[in-house]
A and B are shown apart, each in its own frame.
Chain A
């Protein structure tokens, strides 16, 4: 954009002689625009929009083992899904998960960001160290959590530590009463995503004008809590809202750690694992699966809209 403005200004100052160059400039820009953006647009169309439209179609058909069904069933799949106690309980599972993960991630990543932002030495080292887990795949992290940290036998890391205090082995992932499986599920996600949200908060912190802090200092504000409460937190409003929304959507999309840590079991099955099981596992019921996926999409949209209405996502910048 700035390049084309510059060319236009050049043309204006130098007159006719430069005009052909201006044409070439715009053409070149739009060519590179499409070269760079084109593949992603095609990818978005083919891998996102087309499947969404296709599953909308599938959701009105009985579609077992086929993506080109012929038996139209109207809204029956939606009715079935909305009365399916497994699907409803998967929404319940998600809610529990979100109740744990969203506030925890928010508080801990903000705390980390404040700490790392205060550090005077080796700043980039600390930032990278906390950000590094973000680069790890959920599958790999889940395997480490399941096989070495939280396995249920005596040589698992968590059980070894408990053993020092004479506490019996706990089958972390297989115990439903008390529901210990939430511990590995929540900690693996925290470990993986804290660093990412920390970086968002650091970026937000660095945008706060130092003049505000100086003014607070002059006015005699207590440099700890008061400054945080009345300067830092309000100034971080835009970042906080973004972190909350991203976090909630990510929680709705939870799949990898559930699938890899405990598999498709009905007591801890978030919506995506359940939908995967009925439509892409051996059942291959694509009609019900698509209906469920669209119901879920609508819920995510509604919650996001509601959330931004409450926190004011659009006007958060001012």
Chain B
């Protein structure tokens, strides 16, 4: 067709009439489908194998995503699609679990409302033979009414790492009490370097450890608020004192879980998890020491929050049995993958005692010290502590730490929210 002849068959209007509306509708319906991360069924090399979708949050260390994909691909009995989620994973997971379009298997943190709203299935059958190989705390944090709902994948202790050279230069010993920590942070602060980095919110992440280091806990054994005593108020008040001492770094481009602040020399100490040890060693060599969250006073013990991630099987999965089989394969049977996941990217303590015992990388230097502190002072989450309680607790910390509100009054407000949540859950 010569160039000067316009499209003779169809006028522009006709073309639009015939295709435009259809295309718009098609785009519209396609957008409704969403991407579940599950491979489309039928065709391909899959044959009759079930399709599973597995969700991860975004790990910061290079190589983790490739490793997750490698494990999924190696599984012979199902087509596993990995969904790697940058950004607000908790929110995305929560809405994913509302429908059957969510994941079949996913990582997350256990709490009672997941069971109450029937989101996860019990995994006692696949855990039966290996139960004794897990730390009691890691089992307890995933157990409700005697049933185990999740398999701990990695243990992530959170502690304070510091640059030894800076403390030596200032003639300061590693802090043993909260007061020591506050005065050390002050002394280490210069016009270029701040004493400590505890996150851009001013230290909310240390609320739990401060509570435990005063002898308190989130919930007592019989599920009553355990954060209400005078000593807890005193510990939260100390966090405000640290914030108000002008020796903490605020407004850093990365938050506390990323070692950039200490690596770039912005601070002398940083609250962070053991996952960052390889990154810190690369930047700082052997110039790193570690302390737990220091005790409130001589009456108490230091605290290490033993966090981590846990693998679950969604109750809404269309293939619960296949999903359980995959989870058993990856997180119980394939010990070489578990070892790879725990040690080759960031550092995490393998939850299996048998693996932790032979983890060579965790047997020397600052990593070994962190493991030891976790054994001595570690505490894990209480599954009855729900996200709603945790939000109220966080608001309380913000008011105390940043606004200097009276700890006792703030605790009383939080206690009210926690009690109404407890009565909803336990009657």
A183 vs chain B, min Cβ distance (A)? 12
Across the interface, do B28 and A281 meet the contact criterion of CB distance under 8 Å? no
Cβ of B137 under 8 Å from chain A? no
Contact of B98 among A66, A85, A174 (CB under 8 A): A66
Contacting A at CB under 8 A, from B246-266, are 249-253, 266
Q: How far, in whole Å, are A154 and B193 apart by their CA atoms in the complex?
A: 10
Per the bound structure, the CA–CA distance linking A172 and B20 in Å amounts to 49
Q: Is the CB of B98 within 8 A of A282?
A: no
Is residue B412 contacting chain A, with contact meaning CB distance below 8 A? no
- Given contacts A174-B202, A280-B94, A280-B95, whether A39 and B24 have CB atoms under 8 Å apart is yes
Interchain CB contact under 8 A, A65 and B117: yes
Shortest C-beta distance, A281 to chain B (Å), equals 5
Task: State whether the Cβ of B395 lies closer than 8 Å to any Cβ in chain A.
Answer: yes
Say if the beta carbon of A217 comes within 8 Å of chain B: no
In-complex Cβ contact of B119 among A34, A65, A150, A168 (8 A): A65
Report, as a range, how many residues of chain A touch the other chain.
35 or more
Query: Which residues of chain A from 203 to 260 have any CB-CB distance to chain B below 8 Å in the complex?
Result: none
Residues of chain A with a CB closer than 8 A to B24's CB: 39
State whether the Cβ of B335 lies closer than 8 Å to any Cβ in chain A. Answer: no
Tell me the minimal C-beta distance from A155 to chain B in angstroms.
9
B388 touching A285 by the CB < 8 A rule? yes
- Taking CB atoms and an 8 Å cut-off, the chain B residues in 269-288 that contact chain A are none
Q: Which of A31, A38, A153 has the most CB of B within 10 A?
A: A153
CB of A67 within 8 A of chain B?
yes
B251's partner among A65, A174, A281, A282 (CB-CB below 8 A) is: A174
Report if A265 contacts B (CB, 8 A): yes
B398 to chain A, nearest CB (A): 5
Distance in Å from the Cβ of A313 to the closest Cβ of chain B? 33
Summarize A's interface: helix, strand, loop or mixed: loop
**B25 surroundings in chain A (CB, below 8 A):** 38-39
- Chain A positions within 8 Å of B114 at CB level: 65
Contacts of A168 in B (CB 8 A): 191
On chain A, the residues within 8 Å of B249 by CB distance are: 152-153
Bound-state CA distance A267–B394 (Å) is 12
CB-based contact B117/A147 at 8 Å: no
Please pick, from A36, A146, A171, A282, the residue contacting B250 in the complex, using a CB distance under 8 A.
A171
Which of A34, A263, A265, A280 gathers most chain B CB within 10 Å?
Answer: A265
In the complex, which residues of chain A have a beta carbon less than 8 angstroms from the beta carbon of B16? 32
Asked if A65 meets B98 with Cβ closer than 8 Å, knowing A32-B17, A42-B28, A174-B201, the reply is: yes
Distance between A232 CB and nearest chain B CB, rounded to angstroms: 42
Give A259 Cβ to nearest chain B Cβ, in Å. 9
Cβ-based interface call for B91 (8 A): yes
The CA of A146 and the CA of B250, in the complex, are separated in Å by 12
- Whether the pair B387, A266 counts as a contact (CB closer than 8 A) is no
- How long is the Cα–Cα vector from A101 to B312 in the complex, in angstroms? 46
The answer for the CA separation of A170 and B117 in the assembled complex, in Å, is 45
A318 to B386, CA, bound (A): 58
* A152 and B117 within 8 A (CB): no
**Does chain A have a CB within 8 A of B64?**
no
Kindly state whether residue B427 has any CB partner on chain A within 8 Å: no
Shortest C-beta distance, A64 to chain B (Å), equals: 6
Question: Could you tell me the distance between the alpha carbons of A66 and B24 in the complex, rounded to whole angstroms?
Answer: 31
Pick the residue among A170, A174, A176, A263 that contacts B403 (CB under 8 A).
Answer: A176
Cβ–Cβ contact A153 & B90, under 8 A: no
**From B114, which residue of chain A is reached at the shortest CB distance?**
A65
Q: Is B116 an interface residue (CB 8 A)?
A: yes
Residues of chain A touching chain B, judged by Cβ–Cβ distance below 8 Å, are 31-32, 34-36, 38-39, 42-43, 46, 64-67, 85-86, 146-147, 150-154, 156, 168, 170-177, 263, 265-267, 277-278, 280-285
